[in-house]
Amino acid sequence: MRGERIQILKMLEEGKITAEEAVKLLESIEGGGPAPASTKPRRMLRIQASEAGEMKVNVNLPVSLAKVALKIAASVDKRLGDIDVDAVIDEIRSGVEGPLVELDDGGDRLVITVE
């Protein structure tokens, strides 16, 4: 969890996310948000990005933060600019699980998965 907090703070420092987005993300990984309404396991959105084979981002977030998470992913990997974020959100809301986006460009890789 410490690594995820550092990554969020680095993205804030670099201007990739706003302070409000950083707070939401930190609360989600620290459990500071409101208690879940049901006892069903919470679905998570996993974003993993690597450059030249080196992991740069490895974040798990509640699906409820999908829009913020996809905005962060787009700031990390510009290739996501061509993806219809609203369509991806619709897929998540419909209950889809598994890989949503997989981009592999040689040593650079981005994977967004719902678990």
Q: How many CB atoms lie within 10 A of CB 38?
A: 6
Give the whole-number percent of the chain exceeding pLDDT 90. Answer: 1
Dihedral angle computed from the Cα positions of residues 24, 7, 111 and 34, in that order, rounded to the nearest 10 degrees: -20
Structural domain boundaries in the chain: 2-114
Is residue 45 within 8 A of residue 113, CB to CB? The reply is yes
Q: Report the Cα–Cα distance between both ends of the chain, in Å, rounded.
A: 18
pLDDT in tens, 57-110: 788 888 888 777 777 767 766 666 677 777 888 888 888 899 988 888 887 888
Which helix (H) or strand (E) segment holds residue 42: the answer is none
Instruction: Flag whether pLDDT at 50 surpasses 70.
Output: yes
pTM tops 0.85, yes or no:
no
Q: Which residue has the tokens 């550092």?
A: 6
Q: What is the mean pLDDT of residues 35-60?
A: 76
Contact call for residues 104 and 75 (beta carbons, < 8 A) = no
